[in-house]
Amino acid sequence: MTALNIVLGLIGLLILLVLIAVIRTLLTPAKTSEWQPKRDSAREAEYAEKLAEMVRFETVSYKGQIRRERFLEFHKILERMFPLVHANLEKTEIDGSLLYYWKGKHSDKPLVLMGHQDVVPAEGQWKHEPFSGDIADGKVWGRGSADTKCSVMSFFQAVEELLKDGFVPEQDVYLSTANDEEVAGEGCPKLVAELKKRGVKPYIVNDEGGSIVTEPMAGLKGNFAMVGVLEKGQGNLKIIARSGGGHSSYPPKNSPIVRLSKFVTELSKHNPMKSSMNKQAKEMFGTMAPYGPFWMRLLFGNLWLFRPLLEVLMPSISSQAAALLRTTIAPTMQTGSDGCNVLPQEATLVLNLRYIPHQNMDESNEIIRKIAEKHGLEVELIDAHPAYDPVDAHSDAFRLVGNVIEEVFPGLPIVPYVMTGGTDARHYQQICDACLRFSPVVYGPEQMKGMHGLNENLDTYSLPGAVDYYKALIRKMEKA
């Protein structure tokens, strides 16, 4: 057989495979996201005012500062707004972080509902002042309205209403809310340590991370329940360049900043991390595919054929897509000399890495170290934690949460989601196998842009559904 025949045969096989994929796509019915929020003006107004009051009380967290007294004042607001919760649940306060225990009929499958009290600083020119808590244009405005005082308000309100109805949960319920999530502090680890000391092993932990996202991917229309099942790891590496220093009038060929620049340029031009679509990413894209246009249904609905192509193309098309497929590298901080005409004896660069499971913490750090050595640089590990084990999207726990979503938000597609950011839920993974990241509120493009940015806000229509979700989840635990 000649080389030409082999090439023609391979081309013919490829055409046949593509034809099979096209036929499969044409035979697979396209789906639409049908859920639309139902308006309840009375409940919206009540819940919006509670959220607005929480937003008005500034709870910014700072690295290395506990600010316990500030958060104790915030707790007084919670006590006033949710009197039945505070009269009936056992409260534990640890350095400003809170853990509430609601005793159920059984303790074998406890439920933990999570959200954090703290917020990031608010800078720049806002449409509404960042701690005004204004309610305008159908939204609650201000820092924390979306991230994540909305969740905290909603699950407190859910428990308050269930208590008012005389409900007793089938399983123990815990409300967990740390005061330093935004700075990766010790609040949540201390709460987890407390539960560990009590011998509590939650069946489900429901934290932030995913949400009801409007158009989560180009080509998708409508709303989707993005339930986080995998959270990438995270690490910070300090890259150090040393020299004897000197005067800037006679600069050497490879000064510290030059070496750091060459190092960063190499990382940028030739990314050393491997792109691969893991099981969770495949499930995410495969679940969304039927809701997209034909090209999306063709490519993501036939990953058996197009996966290698997508692993190559996606990182070059979108930084968000790249983050789903590989460990990311982001230069975030840099130092040099203190004088304009002084060559530094030491220059540093900090890299923030988000580790993907197939190339986790140790391997990714070693890749960086080898490239740094090539440029005469040292690497110092500041802090790091690996990607944790994912939650099985076919597990009983995931199905239970999915059933609650279907009940409260009928017609809303449920998508297992790969999280590229970080949450406090990772701390719970040492005592729980089902840490799911899902805030039952709607995040459209405006809300996604506002979190940690300008003009953070949340649509008031999100709030009744969020309260109903937490109530239904607590009730559903009867059948866990």
Whether residue 291 is contained in a domain is answered as yes
Strand ranges inside 70-168, DSSP E? 90-94, 97-102, 106-114, 135-136, 139-141
Within a 10 A sphere around the Cβ of 359, how many other Cβ atoms? 18
Q: Are residues 243 and 206 in the same domain?
A: no
Q: Are residues 306 and 211 in the same domain?
A: no
> HSE on the CB side for 312, CA within 13 Å?
3
Q: What's the rounded Cα separation, in Å, for the pair 458 and 471?
A: 20
pLDDT of residue 16: 86
Task: Supply the CATH number for residue 446's domain.
Answer: 3.40.630.10
Render pLDDT for 403-414 as a digit per residue (tens, 0 to 9): 999 999 999 999
pLDDT of residue 480: 57
pLDDT of residue 301: 95
Q: Are residues 145 and 163 in the same domain?
A: yes
Please give the residue that has the higher pLDDT: either 18 or 410: 410
Q: Are residues 99 and 128 in the same domain?
A: yes
Render pLDDT for 62-105 as a digit per residue (tens, 0 to 9): 998 889 999 999 999 999 999 999 999 999 999 999 999 999 99
**DSSP for residue 119:** B
Whether residue 419 is contained in a domain is answered as yes
What is the residue whose two structure tokens read 């995270």?
234
> Token digits for 144?
């924390």
Q: Are residues 279 and 203 in the same domain?
A: no
pLDDT of residue 14: 84
Task: Give the length of the chain.
Answer: 480
CA angle 300–302–308, rounded 5-degree value: 80
Render pLDDT for 139-149 as a digit per residue (tens, 0 to 9): 999 999 999 99
Q: Are residues 211 and 64 in the same domain?
A: yes
Q: Are residues 220 and 243 in the same domain?
A: no
Our CA dihedral for 64, 69, 72, 77, rounded to 10 degrees, sits at -110
pLDDT of residue 1: 62
Task: Supply the CATH number for residue 362's domain.
Answer: 3.30.70.360
> Token digits for 9?
């045969």
Residue ending a domain, choose from 385, 415, 437: 385
**DSSP-derived 3-state class of residue 417:** strand
Residue ending a domain, choose from 385, 417, 446: 385
Whether residue 198 is contained in a domain is answered as yes
Q: Are residues 275 and 303 in the same domain?
A: yes
Domain count, the chain: 2
Q: What residue type is 173 in one-letter code? A: V
- Give yes or no for a contact between 246 and 57, defined as CB atoms under 8 angstroms apart: no
Whether residue 15 is contained in a domain is answered as no
Whether residue 35 is contained in a domain is answered as no
Whether residue 4 is contained in a domain is answered as no
pLDDT at 479 over 90: no
Render pLDDT for 317-331 as a digit per residue (tens, 0 to 9): 888 889 999 999 999
pLDDT of residue 343: 87
Whether residue 36 is contained in a domain is answered as no
Q: Are residues 354 and 439 in the same domain?
A: no
Which whole number is the average pLDDT over 203-219?
94
Helix 462-476 / helix 396-408 crossing angle, nearest 10 deg: 140
Containing domain of residue 324, as a range? 233-385
Q: Are residues 201 and 243 in the same domain?
A: no
Q: Are residues 367 and 447 in the same domain?
A: no
Q: Are residues 268 and 172 in the same domain?
A: no
User: Do the bridges between strand 414-419 and strand 223-231 make them parallel or antiparallel, or are there none, so unpaired?
Assistant: parallel
238 forms beta bridges with: 350, 380
- Give yes or no for a contact between 372 and 278, defined as CB atoms under 8 angstroms apart: no
Whether residue 49 is contained in a domain is answered as yes
What's this model's pTM, rounded to 2 decimal places?
0.92
Residue ending a domain, choose from 357, 385, 413: 385
- State percent of the chain over pLDDT 90: 85
